[in-house]
Amino acid sequence: MSGQVYWFRPPVCCDPFGPACISLSVTSPFAIDVPSSLLNRARNGEAEAFEQLYRWFERPVFTLALRLCGQREEAQDILQETMLKLLGKIAEFRGESPFWGWLRQIAVNECLMRLRKRHPGLETDMDGESDFLEADILLPPQAADARLLTEAMNRLPATTRSVLWLYHVEGYTHDEIAGLMDKTISFSKSQCARGGKKLRELLNIDKEVPSHG
Amino acid sequence: MADISAQHYGINIGQALRDLPLEAPMHSAWPMLSERIPKKKSRRYFPAALAAGFLLLAIIPLGLHSPPDSGSTNDGDLQTLMQQSSQLENIIVATRNSTASSASAEVISLALEDRIHAIDSQLASGSLGVSQQLNLWQQRVDILQEATRLYSSQRYRQAEGQPYEIAMVESY
């Protein structure tokens, strides 16, 4: 609960490691265990069931979209599109993997599609730097300030920010990120390491005091 | 010693990002979405509707007035309660201070959350009649109003520089 703005506590997924084709990390804000009875009602077109699903996943979808795309208006559009696709495709959900992972994939695809439109090829200003730094970078204490960390994140290129978020928060592997972005595993690792280093620099900027010997 | 070394070296990037609060949209997309859902009567209400129809057929020849259509009123009431619930949740998200809260306030907050969670579990079961749903949604709205008051007074007390514990003793 710490740090989350959720007031009510949706039931957190207890067994996210079912037969799924992607990593399903319980650290993801999407990790909400949806009862099969609720899903069946939604499949039958019950508005109340959809409303319940919308309320549970509104903020996880919006947050993911905002972190990846960086703009509230675009995140609002992505939320709307994702939920519309949920309405249209829920009959296709077979329950072979957790519902939240399925819905999250719809949201991620929607985000990446928009990023590709904005930046064809998903370029970053950190391309070409192929050396790998440590992935688990430690950030300065300023990172505990949500506002400062959010501002620093927003100053990163959208693709770099997306890789960082998908890897560290949503728990995707580099292999999966590479597949989603049609890039190499090296690209994902490099973006993750470079993005972390850049984030550390951005957060440290106010602390750096010129030395007077 | 572990704490000292953590302080010295900083915060793990993954932990820092995961600790960022969830963001709320500027406005709910639900009103637009709800219009896209094809109007579909739930099957379980059909026998009740059929029975009501037979009753009407039986009553009309006797020259009695037909009973008011309470179904549409109930649906309207349900929609109103859902809307109130959604609005109150948005107010709570805007009002609640997740970074500074006393232990006692957290205990009350968690108790209210548990009550909401219990109601949500019942609503998710899908085997409820309209009157039961109305009852549960009304309870949900009542709890959310209680929570709104809790967080509003907490914010007010903090703004005034007063200890929140006193307010809680007065209220709870």
CATH code, domain with A43: 1.10.1740.10
Q: How far apart are the first and last CA of chain B?
A: 40
Tell me whether residue A2 is in a domain. no
Same-domain pairing of A22 and A110: yes
Task: Collect all residues of chain A within an 8 Å Cβ-Cβ radius of residue B130.
Answer: none
Q: Does B2 touch chain A (CB under 8 A)?
A: no
How many Å lie between the alpha carbon of B18 and the closest alpha carbon of chain A? 5
Q: Do B117 and A143 touch (CB under 8 A)?
A: no
Which of residues A84 and A94 earns the better pLDDT score? A84
Contacts of B60 (CB under 8 A, 6+ apart): B66
Same-domain pairing of A102 and A189: no
Separation between Cα atoms, residue A3 and residue A27, nearest integer Å: 13
Predicted local confidence at residue A195, as pLDDT? 93
Annotated domain spans of chain B: 70-171
Predicted local confidence at residue A178, as pLDDT? 95
Q: How far is CA A86 from CA A79, A81, A102, A139, A158, in A?
A: 11, 9, 10, 37, 25
Each residue's pLDDT tens digit, B4-60: 444 456 899 999 999 999 999 988 999 999 888 876 654 444 444 444 444 444 444
Which residues form the domain of A56? 16-118
A125 pLDDT higher than 50: yes
Each residue's pLDDT tens digit, A143-187: 999 999 999 999 999 999 999 999 999 999 999 999 999 999 999
Tell me whether residue A8 is in a domain. no
A70 pLDDT higher than 80: yes
Contact A207, A179 (CB under 8 A): no
How many Å lie between the alpha carbon of B53 and the closest alpha carbon of chain A? 23
Task: Collect all residues of chain A within an 8 Å Cβ-Cβ radius of residue B14.
Answer: 27, 136, 168-169
Mean pLDDT over A58-86 rounds to 96
Tell me whether residue A11 is in a domain. no
Q: Do A146 and B20 touch (CB under 8 A)?
A: yes
Predicted local confidence at residue B108, as pLDDT? 72
Tell me whether residue A3 is in a domain. no
The token pair at A107 is 């949201």
Same-domain pairing of A100 and A21: yes
Which of residues B159 and B18 earns the better pLDDT score? B18
Contacts of A147 (CB under 8 A, 6+ apart): none
Separation between Cα atoms, residue B92 and residue B24, nearest integer Å: 11
Task: Collect all residues of chain A within an 8 Å Cβ-Cβ radius of residue B12.
Answer: 136, 138-139
B77 pLDDT higher than 90: no
Q: Do B16 and A149 touch (CB under 8 A)?
A: yes
Task: Collect all residues of chain B within an 8 Å Cβ-Cβ radius of residue A35.
Answer: 121, 124-125
How many Å lie between the alpha carbon of B89 and the closest alpha carbon of chain A? 7
Helix, strand, coil fractions of chain B, as percent rounded to 5? 75, 0, 25
What is the C-alpha R_g of chain A? 18
A11 pLDDT higher than 70: no
B146 pLDDT higher than 50: yes
Separation between Cα atoms, residue A36 and residue B125, nearest integer Å: 9
Contact B144, B92 (CB under 8 A): yes
Closest CA to A46 of B120, B129, B37: B37
Percent of chain A, pLDDT > 70?
Answer: 76
If pLDDT is split at 50, 70 and 90, which confidence band does B83 have?
A: confident
The token pair at A212 is 């007077």
Name the least confident of A98-107, B35-44, B116-125.
B35-44
Same-domain pairing of A113 and A21: yes
Mean pLDDT over A89-108 rounds to 92
Q: Do A138 and B38 touch (CB under 8 A)?
A: no
Predicted local confidence at residue A167, as pLDDT? 95
Tell me whether residue A40 is in a domain. yes
Mean pLDDT over A85-106 rounds to 92
A13 pLDDT higher than 80: no
Same-domain pairing of A194 and A132: yes
Tell me whether residue A10 is in a domain. no
Predicted local confidence at residue B160, as pLDDT? 65
Task: Collect all residues of chain A within an 8 Å Cβ-Cβ radius of residue B40.
Answer: 44-46
Mean pLDDT over A120-126 rounds to 60
SS3 label, residue B27: coil
How many Å lie between the alpha carbon of B34 and the closest alpha carbon of chain A? 7
Under DSSP, the state recorded for B161 is T
Predicted local confidence at residue A212, as pLDDT? 43
Predicted local confidence at residue A126, as pLDDT? 55
Predicted local confidence at residue B69, as pLDDT? 43
Same-domain pairing of A200 and A132: yes
How many Å lie between the alpha carbon of A29 and the closest alpha carbon of chain B? 8
Predicted local confidence at residue B101, as pLDDT? 60
How many Å lie between the alpha carbon of B126 and the closest alpha carbon of chain A? 7
Q: How many CB atoms lie within 10 A of CB A179?
A: 15
Q: Do B33 and A63 touch (CB under 8 A)?
A: no
Contacts of A114 (CB under 8 A, 6+ apart): A69, A74, A78
Which of residues A194 and A96 earns the better pLDDT score? A194
Tell me whether residue A1 is in a domain. no
What crossing angle do the helices spanning B103-125 and B164-171 adopt, rounded to 10°? 50
Mean pLDDT over A28-48 rounds to 90
DSSP B46-92: HHHHHHHHHHHHHHGGGTPPPPP-HHHHHHHHHHHHHHHHHHHHHHH
Predicted local confidence at residue A9, as pLDDT? 46
Beta bridge partners of A32: A12
- Best of A4, A5, A7, A200 to substitute, by most chain B Cβ atoms within 10 angstroms, is A7
A208 pLDDT higher than 50: no
Contact A149, A203 (CB under 8 A): yes
Predicted local confidence at residue B104, as pLDDT? 66
Separation between Cα atoms, residue B72 and residue B45, nearest integer Å: 13
Tell me whether residue A167 is in a domain. yes
Q: Does B36 touch chain A (CB under 8 A)?
A: yes
Same-domain pairing of A66 and A26: yes
Name the least confident of A67-76, A129-138, A178-187.
A129-138
Nearest to A51 among B24, B82, B117 (CB): B82
Task: Say how many domains are in chain A.
Answer: 2
Give the CATH number for residue A178. Answer: 1.20.140.160
Contacts of B102 (CB under 8 A, 6+ apart): B164, B165, B168
Same-domain pairing of A74 and A133: no
- Best of A1, A2, A8, A174 to substitute, by most chain B Cβ atoms within 10 angstroms, is A8
Task: Collect all residues of chain A within an 8 Å Cβ-Cβ radius of residue B92.
Answer: 7
Contact A15, B7 (CB under 8 A): no
Q: Does B44 touch chain A (CB under 8 A)?
A: no
